[in-house]
């Protein structure tokens, strides 16, 4: 009993130390996101065929939790396997949503529109996560909707390891996927298009990805099928970048590759000192460094799902490696919150493992945020990891500015009305004097007392509130009676550029 008590107290003390350290490292700009996976109902909805009301309730509950922890973005999978979580004119409704592919929600609603509106209502960026070439998570073609691409164009599809994939080597396939993405970008108010690590599938011993005939028929000849495959993905990423920027320049393109681009034994000059069993370049045919060099990506989020000190791939080593190769793109680190508490690896039984990884990433000035896989594990709170992250994210943060953003800031808002009551203060501002750039949201800073402390320290960020031209006001209900407060407000444009601060407004409460 005594030993158990001492162990518990030690864990509490360590947790306090870690949390103080993480809080001290808080940045004003930091990407804090969770992946929300819909394939096989990993995160949402909890099962297929839920009613519209149940789907909405589950999603808003998850959003509320993530926002309450301090996250500022969600990465939601809206096209898991050539299917749609929105009324697409090209692809069928997802079976993971309704239980039957091609069947619309009942009563009808647009889940993607709902996802975006609810995210933005909570000042969460919405990144639309799309799997470009996975056609079906099994090989049962007869179970697919009649208008699914695998049934309409069976010659575009390759069966591999019991699943169906579109053939990236066919220009018509690339054009098809780009058409789907264009439909999303044009019709929905998303903040980014997000691709994960699935380009060509991970290699499986004894399985053959049968695209030899496509390779042989290519009008442009390559020395090897590997180089041809890489060129296919390079071409797709180049076309996707151009499509997005020509449609809505402020929409970002983010890619979350497997954590190792290439091992050093394959590329002594550029490779990392790792021994990964598979890599982006050699196995998934994703030449991330080329895309970064060409400026085709706004952010890169390598999935570093190993524990610190792992011999074959150490996340600490890879954080440094990606920092040196990110070029102009923003760099976020992907973390395996789902592994916390796992019995499969003793390292993940330590409550300090994920907080240590976050602390390391925050120490590196080239790393501007973190994404956690996946959303439901915040609710599970294994080893108190959610509580720890909530402390480290206790102050709100703005998301980073994309690399090619127009840095012309908005002018300062102007305070217009003040209403004082015993239990609240209502502050109103106006748009007069703002530049041509429409605000996307407002940042309200609050300082105890009458001294203005500037807007650089995130501890003074009191509220980040979405833009609503019908209601330019903020109600502060967390006040003390007969106290002094100072408020400042700034506006932020769609590319996350913050404008000039308003005049400091000093208030004495009743």
Q: What is the pLDDT of residues 428-484, one digit of tens each?
A: 998 755 445 678 999 999 999 999 999 999 999 999 999 887 789 999 999 999 999
pLDDT number for residue 20: 53
The C-alpha atoms of residue 476 and residue 485 are separated, in whole angstroms, by 11
- Vertex 308: Cα angle to 306 and 314 (nearest 5): 70
Cα 137–chain centre separation: 23
Cα 497–chain centre separation: 19
pLDDT number for residue 431: 77
Q: Is residue 301 within 8 Å of residue 292, measured between CB atoms?
A: no
Closest CA to 177 of 230, 240, 123: 240
Give this prediction's pTM.
0.94
- Vertex 254: Cα angle to 250 and 258 (nearest 5): 175
Nearby residues of 183 by Cβ (< 8 Å), 6 or more positions away:
88, 89, 90
The C-alpha atoms of residue 125 and residue 115 are separated, in whole angstroms, by 11
Strands (E) located in 439-504: 441-448, 461-466, 473-476, 484-492
Which tokens sit at 371? 């994404």
Residue 44: DSSP 8-state? S
The C-alpha atoms of residue 478 and residue 473 are separated, in whole angstroms, by 16
The C-alpha atoms of residue 220 and residue 92 are separated, in whole angstroms, by 34
Indicate the burial class of 449 (C-beta count within 10 angstroms; 0-12, 13-18, 19 or more): exposed
H/E stretch holding 254 = strand 252-255
Residues in the chain: 510
The C-alpha atoms of residue 253 and residue 194 are separated, in whole angstroms, by 6
**Distances in whole angstroms, Cα of residue 416 to Cα of each of 56, 296, 427, 466:** 37, 43, 8, 19
Cα 31–chain centre separation: 8
Low-confidence ranges of the chain (pLDDT < 70): 1-24, 432-437
pLDDT number for residue 12: 47
The C-alpha atoms of residue 204 and residue 452 are separated, in whole angstroms, by 60
User: Which of 104-113's residues contact partners 24+ apart within 8 Å by CB, and which partners?
Assistant: 105/52, 105/55, 106/51, 106/52, 107/52, 108/52, 109/52, 109/56, 110/86, 111/55, 111/85, 111/86, 112/78, 112/85, 112/86, 112/184, 112/188, 113/86, 113/188
């Amino acid at each position: 009993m005594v030993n158990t008590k001492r162990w518990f107290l030690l864990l509490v003390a360590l947790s306090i130390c870690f949390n103080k350290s993480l809080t001290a490292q808080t940045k004003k700009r930091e990407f804090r996101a969770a992946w929300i996976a819909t394939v096989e109902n990993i995160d949402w909805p909890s099962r297929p065929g839920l009613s519209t009301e149940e789907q909405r309730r589950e999603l808003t509950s998850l959003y509320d939790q993530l926002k309450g922890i301090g996250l500022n973005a969600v990465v939601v999978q809206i096209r898991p396997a050539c299917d749609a979580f929105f009324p697409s004119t090209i692809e069928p409704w997802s079976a993971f949503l309704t239980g039957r592919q091609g069947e619309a929600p009942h009563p009808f609603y647009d889940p993607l529109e709902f996802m975006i509106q609810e995210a933005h209502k909570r000042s969460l960026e919405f990144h639309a996560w799309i799997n470009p070439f996975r056609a079906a998570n099994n090989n049962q073609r007869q179970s697919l909707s009649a208008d699914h691409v695998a049934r309409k164009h069976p010659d575009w599809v390759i069966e591999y390891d019991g699943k169906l994939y579109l053939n990236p080597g066919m220009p018509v396939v690339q054009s098809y996927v780009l058409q789907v993405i264009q439909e999303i970008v044009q019709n929905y108010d998303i903040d980014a298009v997000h691709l994960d690590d699935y380009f060509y599938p991970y290699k499986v011993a004894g399985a053959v990805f049968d695209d030899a005939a496509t390779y042989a028929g290519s009008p442009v000849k390559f020395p090897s099928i590997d180089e041809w495959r890489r060129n296919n993905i390079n071409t797709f990423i180049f076309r996707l970048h151009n499509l997005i920027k020509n449609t809505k320049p402020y929409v970002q393109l983010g890619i979350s590759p497997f954590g190792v681009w290439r091992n050093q034994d394959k590329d002594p000059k550029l490779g990392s000192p790792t021994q990964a069993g598979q890599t982006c370049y050699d196995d998934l045919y994703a030449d991330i460094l080329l895309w970064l060099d060409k400026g085709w990506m706004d952010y890169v989020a390598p999935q570093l799902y190993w524990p610190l000190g792992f011999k074959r791939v150490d996340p600490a080593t890879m954080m440094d490696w990606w920092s040196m190769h990110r070029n102009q793109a923003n760099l976020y680190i992907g973390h395996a919150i789902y592994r916390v508490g796992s019995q499969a690896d003793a390292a993940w039984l330590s409550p300090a493992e994920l907080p240590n990884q976050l602390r390391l990433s925050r120490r590196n000035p080239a790393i501007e945020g973190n994404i956690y896989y996946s959303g439901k594990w915040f609710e599970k709170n294994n080893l108190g990891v959610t509580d720890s992250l909530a402390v480290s994210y206790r102050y709100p943060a703005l998301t980073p500015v994309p690399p090619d953003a127009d840095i012309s800031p908005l002018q300062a808002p102007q305070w217009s009305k003040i209403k004082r009551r015993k239990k609240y203060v209502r502050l109103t501002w106006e748009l007069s004097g703002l530049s041509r750039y429409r605000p996307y949201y407002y940042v309200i800073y609050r300082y105890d007392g009458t001294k203005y402390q500037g807007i650089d320290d995130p501890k003074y960020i009191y509220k980040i509130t979405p833009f609503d031209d019908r209601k330019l006001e903020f109600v502060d209900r967390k006040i003390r009676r007969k106290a002094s407060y100072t408020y400042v407000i700034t506006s932020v444009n769609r590319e996350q550029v913050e404008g000039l601060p308003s005049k400091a407004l000093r208030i004495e409460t009743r």
